[in-house]
Amino acid sequence: MNSAVTDVEVSAPRESSSSAVNWGPIIAGAFAASTLTVVLMLIGSGLGLTMVSPWTGASASATTFAVSAAVWLVIVQWLSAGLGGYLTGRLRTKWVGIHDDEVYFRDTAHGFLAWALATLLVAGVLGSALSATVGAGVQAASNVAAGAAAGASSAATNAAGATDNNSLGYFVDMLFRPADTGAVAPAGQNDAGATAQATRILVVSAAKGEVSADDKAYLAKLVASRTGLSQADAAKRVDTVIAGIDDAKNKAKAAADTARKASATFALVGALSMIVGAFIASVAAALGGKQRDEDEALFVRG
């Protein structure tokens, strides 16, 4: 029994041999975005320097400076991302034989790739400066945390000969000022041994966070014997100096905490602006590609 077999040829859609990624427009858009970023960063640096002055009270506050820097960073990211994405969309060639949704997807993908490449280029040029800015808060905090221990070690080793270089030298000098502030202490009265002892007590106490009662009483005796003050007045001077040291330490901690918060805010705002910049680059590329196709269609019909 013979059966007739009909061969039916089924034609499947062929895969295009050309890549869906057009690197020429992507690279062009990335270079345009990174160049605009550098230019705007230089402008921002110039504007930032106008906010800083060596004269007391003439500079902008730290909060104002940090907010201005964050806002300018957002502006730089968005403008450069928009330019790079738009150029990427306008410069690509027309895709033929694909659905409009696929065209839209490819344009947005090209804009994102242009943004990513521009980000890598800018990071390579400005990476060290950005790392220094982000790490400023961490460095300041670590300096304050390690300062007391380093100072204690340095003072214990070199107190006799390096008191002038110690950060507590000013407060030690306050301790041993003569009772008559118009006179200078006689030679040998403010000897190096007493100064070294006082320095070690103050540094170690600063590292511990408090001055013990025994150390405070001994400091008062040292001050009374070297300055001519009564024991009660010497004790008051010791309390005043210790309060001054605590105030200076608290101000240093506050400055380090402010720098830490500013660095954290800068990093978070920068990350958020980059995410929004990626979105802007994608949308701008889609708009640029759509306008390119529409202009070509108008030209063909005309």
**Annotated domain spans of the chain:** 23-52+59-130+268-301, 141-254
DSSP-assigned letters across all residues of 96-155: -SS-HHHHHHHHHHHHHHHHHHHHHHHHHHHHHHHHHHHTHHHHHHHHHHHHHHHHHHHH
Q: What is the pLDDT of residue 35?
A: 92
Report pLDDT for 183.
Answer: 43
Question: Which residue type is seen at 109?
Answer: A
Alpha carbon distance 124, 133 (integer Å): 15
Tens digit of each residue's pLDDT (9 = 90 or more) over 111-160: 999 999 999 988 887 666 555 554 554 454 445 444 443 444 444 444 43
Tell me the residue type at 61: S
Q: Please tell me the distance from the alpha carbon of residue 266 to that of residue 71, in angstroms, as a whole number.
A: 10
Q: What percent of the chain has pLDDT over 70?
A: 67
What global pTM score does this model have? 0.61
Rg (CA), the chain: 35
Q: Express each pLDDT in 248-274 by its tens digit.
A: 888 888 888 888 887 888 788 888 889
pLDDT band at 284; cut points 50, 70, 90 = very high
Residue 136 vs residue 21, higher pLDDT? 21
The answer to whether residue 174 scores a pLDDT higher than 90 is: no
Q: Distance between CA atoms of 218 and 177, rounded to whole angstroms? A: 17
CB 77 within 8 A of CB 122: no
Q: What is the DSSP string of 194-207?
A: HHHHHHHHHHHHHH
Q: Between the CA of residue 204 and those of 151, 164, 201, 208, what are the distances in Å?
A: 9, 17, 5, 6
| 149-158, 199-208, 284-293: which is most confident | 284-293
List the one residue out of 77, 36, 7, 28 whose CA is nearest residue 288.
28
Place of tokens 């403008």: 79
Q: CA 264, CA 221: separation in Å to the nearest integer?
A: 47
The larger pLDDT score, comparing residue 13 to residue 162, is at: 13
pLDDT of 26 strictly over 90: yes
Label residue 251 exposed, middle or buried (CB < 10 Å: 0-12, 13-18, 19+). Answer: exposed
* Three-class secondary structure of residue 63 per DSSP: helix
CB distance 79 to 36 below 8 Å: yes
- Helical axes 213-227 vs 231-301, angle rounded to 10°: 110
Using alpha carbons, select from 227, 167, 173 the residue that is nearest to residue 195.
173
